[in-house]
């Protein structure tokens, strides 16, 4: 891990990613508190704000990966940060004058621009470190996600409480500016920034965008191992969608109706602690047992812990189980996240990365829609857990049957028989 941080490009990308996520989390959470605080009789406003964060994924997903593979990735990441900083300034103005409709529009635009950052940053990261460092690099990024999982809600509440909504939004703008400056200070090889060669924005036409998007889709369909991994993301989206509401539902309707807000926060805290610990353990586990085994075993253990969570009738039994669940999920995410850069050629990394999020968002939206329709009239909290466990187990079984032969075949095609034996 120390070797990664001795690489100045990785260090600056890591800090830029941290600043970019910080700018997103603090402002979004603070804005939610602002809406609930000032418009408590209109809860639909808070739901509308959440929609403004998720809808852009379905609006621009076909475009962001193609742009990241055709244009200068460093400039895309920098402009993504700085355009968001400018939109944040406009958001401050709209808040000052109480223009909520304009605020929602700016939140939508800011979230849409943010979608261009991830594929570009991933492509830059892939070309700036060695292949043997992918696991550690993804593990560090997962740890950052775990930290925001732990403290994101608290950071938003703290900023809103002590700095007000304007101060919280201002933190967003400063974070985006800092992230852009860090990336601008990096020196990348030209083939890392522009793996497809030099292109100007004026050279990119709509038919080409569609053609390149379809090329990325064909690329995934032609690589069975890559397709198999990505196919599981629909179920991961379902799991994430249910987990988005499960802590509150569990405490409100089953374990702690009178103190559900405090105990729901404890669930998030325990999940984040487990996620951080699992992120630390993921790299040595993958080196010892291979990605396929860690992925399959992690999903199996996760499904068993979710069943145990559904059966728990005490808060103090539920919380340790949540911690263990977080510990099992982290290596699964790192195994997949570090595998994809090895399977995808640099010129198609943006296209592939941009196709993953809408797949997960589709599962996420389906899950929330089903929960809204079925809970609590048809499905109880306990059965929400059980259904979630079934989804996780289905992915586990799918991967257990599909991955080992594909990994062996890939290793044999590369002429590495010993690697094939280890992978399976």
- State pLDDT tens for residues 52-86: 776 777 677 667 766 766 778 888 889 999 999 99
Q: In degrees, to the nearest 5, what angle opens at C-alpha 417 toward C-alphas 412 and 423? A: 85
The whole-angstrom separation of Cα 248 and Cα 48 is 19
Rounded to the nearest 10 degrees, how much is the dihedral formed by the CA atoms of 363, 367, 373, 375?
170
- Please choose, from the candidates 137, 90, 120, 125, the residue with its C-alpha nearest in 3D space to the C-alpha of residue 282: 137
Residue 186 phi, psi dihedral angles, 5° rounding: -80, 150
Overall average pLDDT of the 354-372 stretch: 71
> Which positions ≥6 away from 41 have C-beta within 8 Å?
none
The whole-angstrom separation of Cα 10 and Cα 320 is 35
Per-residue DSSP letter, 99: -
The pLDDT, as a whole number, for residue 85 is 93
User: 375 or 92: which carries more pLDDT confidence?
Assistant: 92
Q: In degrees, to the nearest 5, what angle opens at C-alpha 17 toward C-alphas 12 and 23? A: 125
User: Measured between alpha carbons, how far is residue 313 from residues 97, 211, 246, 321, 381 in Å?
Assistant: 48, 54, 15, 12, 11
The pLDDT, as a whole number, for residue 175 is 92
User: 187 or 252: which carries more pLDDT confidence?
Assistant: 187
Q: Which token pair is 406?
A: 């594909």
Percent of the chain clearing pLDDT 70 (strictly above): 76
């Amino acid at each position: 891990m120390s070797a990664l941080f001795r690489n100045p490009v990785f260090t600056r990308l890591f800090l830029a990613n941290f600043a970019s996520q910080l700018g997103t989390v603090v402002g979004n959470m603070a804005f939610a508190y602002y809406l609930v605080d000032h418009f408590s009789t209109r809860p639909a406003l808070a739901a509308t704000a959440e929609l403004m964060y998720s809808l852009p994924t379905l609006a621009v997903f076909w475009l962001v990966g193609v742009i990241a593979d055709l244009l200068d990735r460093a400039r895309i990441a920098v402009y993504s940060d700085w355009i968001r900083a400018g939109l944040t300034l406009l958001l401050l103005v709209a808040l000052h004058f109480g223009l909520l409709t304009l605020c929602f529009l700016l939140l939508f635009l800011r979230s849409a621009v943010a979608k261009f950052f991830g594929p570009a940053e991933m492509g830059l990261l892939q070309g700036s470190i060695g292949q043997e460092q992918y696991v550690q690099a993804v593990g560090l990024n997962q740890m950052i996600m775990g930290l925001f999982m732990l403290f994101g809600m608290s950071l938003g509440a703290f900023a809103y409480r002590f700095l007000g909504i304007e101060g919280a939004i201002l933190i967003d703008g400063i974070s985006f500016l800092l992230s852009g400056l860090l990336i601008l200070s990096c020196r990348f090889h030209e083939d890392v920034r522009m793996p497809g060669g030099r292109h100007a924005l004026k050279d990119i036409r709509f038919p080409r965008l569609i053609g390149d998007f379809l090329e990325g889709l064909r690329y995934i369909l032609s690589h069975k191992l890559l397709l198999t991994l990505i196919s599981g993301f629909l179920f991961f989206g379902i799991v994430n969608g249910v987990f988005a509401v499960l802590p509150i539902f569990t405490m409100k309707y089953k374990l702690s109706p009178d103190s559900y807000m405090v105990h729901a926060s404890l669930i998030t805290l325990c999940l984040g602690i487990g996620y951080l610990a699992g992120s630390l353990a993921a790299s040595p586990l993958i080196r010892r047992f291979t990605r396929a085994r860690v992925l399959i075993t992690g999903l199996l253990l996760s499904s068993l812990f979710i069943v145990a969570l559904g059966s728990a009738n005490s808060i103090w039994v539920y919380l340790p189980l949540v911690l263990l669940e977080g510990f099992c999920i982290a290596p699964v995410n790192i195994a997949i996240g570090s595998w994809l850069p090895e399977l995808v050629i640099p010129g198609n990394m943006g296209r592939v990365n941009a196709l993953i999020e809408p797949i997960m968002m589709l599962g996420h939206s389906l899950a929330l829609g089903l929960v809204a329709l079925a809970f609590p009239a048809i499905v109880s909290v306990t059965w929400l857990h059980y259904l979630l466990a079934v989804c996780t187990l289905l992915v586990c079984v799918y991967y257990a049957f599909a991955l080992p032969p594909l990994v062996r075949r890939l290793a044999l095609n590369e002429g590495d028989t010993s690697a094939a034996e280890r992978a399976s």
